[in-house]
Amino acid sequence: MKTFSFIHTADRHLDSPFKGISEINEEIIDLCIEKQIDFLLIVGDIYDGSDRSLRAQLRFRDSLKRLSDAGIKAFIVHGNHDPLNGWSANLDWPKNVYIFNGKSMEKVSIEKDGEEIAQLYGISFHNREINTNLTNKFPKISQSKKALFSIGMLHCNVGTNTGHELYAPCTLQDLITRNFDYWALGHVHKKAIINGDNPLVIYPGNPQGLHPKETGARGCFLVNVDENGESTAEFIEVDSIRWFVEELSIDSLYTEQELISKVHTYIEKTRKEAKGHPSICRIILTGRSGMHSSIARKGVLDDILKDIREDEEGEKQFVWIESIEDYTNPEIDRKSLLERKDFIGDLVKLFEEFSHDENKIAELKETLDPLFTSPSGRKLLEPINDEDFLDLLKKTETVCLDKLIGGELS
Ligand SMILES: [Mn+2]
């Protein structure tokens, strides 16, 4: 058979609240043309809402026109965010575009230079809430009669992925038993190869992170099928902006200058990590130090944010700090805690004894000994040296005090 290749993408969510990047990734269209692929599969949630804007539809149509003019076909199924019963403008779609209906599963034959190369099976969401298992609508291909590479396109939730709405639920086994060669899925925004071979079952994830929680590289899959019908899938990054969330601790920071420098260091680290992509970062400040009260002052974080953003103006590969959130706590004054005549005072005194008195340490170690020597404990725990033991005690004290007085001091 003829070799061929295709690109699989899903979940672009055009018109999503994050307006900054509201066009389909032109990178995907460029990639299709550059790699001279035979067809593009778009597996649902092209638009964020069923009432898609005319502008988003026009831009999407124009992107597909560019693809069509290059002789590349595009096949589309709709998902729960852009079901077919939502409003859509009456537009002339380019001739190489095929949109699957939402009433029944359809089979489409794909040709290359007049020769049939693959069979494509798909169905769109007619309405938003599809709670039935749509895999039942797909045929089971008899392996003996199988001649052509077969692909299933489905927007669905495999194995009840809890991070996403439970629409069109199904199991991996439901998909495997169809005897297809490739399942092009959509719906889950984090890329996942859920079956690596025979068949390949892939969620490409969204090609652009839409909010701070959608961190890391985003892209699509390029699939090559050789003359024996063997397929290989390669992830290719196409996101134009990358999201990051970072926790920075104020432990051991004493001045505003040190805090600002720490954010600058983080920005430079992120610029390197984003490998040429502009990025948007959310910073979460944690830890304890005297800086807590300064950070808590009205306007201080806003001013730091403004100052840092100004420094980024004009940077081509910018690192934009979206927000700085304050989860810091005040420094613990152990000396005054030791003088307290309550449970907290007793607890700090106890930790004080355990970390300085060798006999007490030996006593504590002996108490903990069964944990390390029991048959089940031995499998999980390594023996601890004295230094690590003291370090562990220190951390335990911090955890206890955080829980007991975390709010009391702030
Ligand atoms: Mn979806």
Is the pLDDT at 20 greater than 70, yes or no?
Answer: no
Q: What is the pLDDT of residue 377?
A: 84
Q: Calculate how far, in angstroms, residue 88's C-alpha sits from the geometric centre of ligand 1.
A: 18
Is the pLDDT at 115 greater than 60, yes or no?
Answer: yes
Q: Calculate how far, in angstroms, residue 316's C-alpha sits from the geometric centre of ligand 1.
A: 33
Residue 368 or residue 25, greater confidence? 368
Q: Calculate how far, in angstroms, residue 28's C-alpha sits from the geometric centre of ligand 1.
A: 20
Q: Calculate how far, in angstroms, residue 297's C-alpha sits from the geometric centre of ligand 1.
A: 42
Residue 383 or residue 259, greater confidence? 259
Q: What is the pLDDT of residue 21?
A: 53
Q: Calculate how far, in angstroms, residue 81's C-alpha sits from the geometric centre of ligand 1.
A: 6
Residue 410 maps to a domain: no
Residues 40 and 103 in one domain: yes
Q: Calculate how far, in angstroms, residue 130's C-alpha sits from the geometric centre of ligand 1.
A: 11
- Nearest-angstrom CA–CA distance, 247 and 283: 6
Residues 246 and 311 in one domain: yes
Tell me the one-letter amino acid at 190.
Answer: K
Q: What is the pTM of this model?
A: 0.78
Q: Calculate how far, in angstroms, residue 11's C-alpha sits from the geometric centre of ligand 1.
A: 7
* Domain end call among 215, 237, 259: 237
* Domain end call among 212, 237, 262: 237
Residue 13 maps to a domain: yes
Residues 302 and 246 in one domain: yes
Averaged pLDDT, 64-68: 93
Residue 338 maps to a domain: yes
Residues 103 and 181 in one domain: yes
β-pair type (200-203, 182-186):
parallel
Averaged pLDDT, 372-397: 84
Residues 37 and 171 in one domain: yes
Most distant pair of Cα atoms in the chain: their distance: 89
Residue 186 maps to a domain: yes
Expressed as residue numbers, the domain containing 197 is 4-237
Residue 404 or residue 140, greater confidence? 140
Highest average pLDDT, of 161-165, 193-197, 360-364, 378-382, comes from 193-197
Which residues 6+ apart lie within 8 Å of 270 measured at CB? 244, 246, 279, 281, 319
Q: Calculate how far, in angstroms, residue 202's C-alpha sits from the geometric centre of ligand 1.
A: 15
Can you give the CATH number for the domain in which 176 is found?
Answer: 3.60.21.10
Residues 282 and 317 in one domain: yes
Residue 197 maps to a domain: yes
Tell me what the pLDDT averaged over the chain comes to.
Answer: 89
Q: Calculate how far, in angstroms, residue 260's C-alpha sits from the geometric centre of ligand 1.
A: 40
Q: Calculate how far, in angstroms, residue 168's C-alpha sits from the geometric centre of ligand 1.
A: 10
Averaged pLDDT, 372-376: 86
- Nearest-angstrom CA–CA distance, 123 and 135: 10
Residues 172 and 317 in one domain: no
Residues 318 and 386 in one domain: no
Instruction: Name residues with Cβ closer than 5 Å to ligand 1, which is an ion.
Output: 45, 79-80, 187
* Domain end call among 218, 237, 256: 237
Residues 142 and 224 in one domain: yes
Residue 196 maps to a domain: yes
Averaged pLDDT, 307-314: 92
Q: Calculate how far, in angstroms, residue 329's C-alpha sits from the geometric centre of ligand 1.
A: 39
Residues 228 and 81 in one domain: yes
Number of domains in the chain: 3
Residue 139 maps to a domain: yes
Residues 302 and 388 in one domain: no
Residue 315 maps to a domain: yes
Q: Calculate how far, in angstroms, residue 120's C-alpha sits from the geometric centre of ligand 1.
A: 20
Q: What is the pLDDT of residue 410?
A: 43
Residues 247 and 305 in one domain: yes
Highest average pLDDT, of 155-164, 218-227, 377-386, comes from 218-227
Of the candidates 7, 115, 14, the one whose C-alpha atom is nearest the C-alpha of residue 70 is 7
Tell me the one-letter amino acid at 77.
Answer: V
- Nearest-angstrom CA–CA distance, 396 and 379: 23
